[in-house]
Amino acid sequence: MNNLRNNVQLIGNLGNTPEIITLENGSKLAKFSLATNESYTNKKGEKITDTQWHNIIAWNNTATIVEKFLDKGKEVALQGKLTSRTWEDQDGKKHYITEIVCNEVLMLGSK
């Protein structure tokens, strides 16, 4: 049952080309957004598509795979964990972000 704790699995499309950052210590970081869509029919019989955007980060080997194979619009399945963090900008304003730390990615769709 411990494998179910803080486990996120998503299938969606990249909203942007991944941003790749190499840190001073040699670690690699990939950042990108992922759109997931859910469709349903409302009471009027109209088809509604609800799109949710997710902030994704990947480290080291996973970041290398992201850098080599993923581009804007590509459909992927990914697995990771949900994290939240805060930081202060130069003006002292506090910012909050929730991200998914991706540890596995699978390319879907056509080549």
Residues 84-101: tens digit of each pLDDT? 999 999 999 999 999 999
Q: Give the rounded percent of residues in the chain with a pLDDT score beyond 90.
A: 92
For the segment 54-65, what is each residue's pLDDT rounded down to a tens digit?
Answer: 999 999 999 999
**Does the pLDDT of residue 4 top 80, yes or no?**
no
What is the architecture of the domain spanning 2-107?
Beta Barrel (2.40)
pTM for this predicted structure: 0.86
Alpha carbon distance 20, 47 (integer Å): 37
- Distance, CA of 56 to CA of 104 (rounded, Å): 12
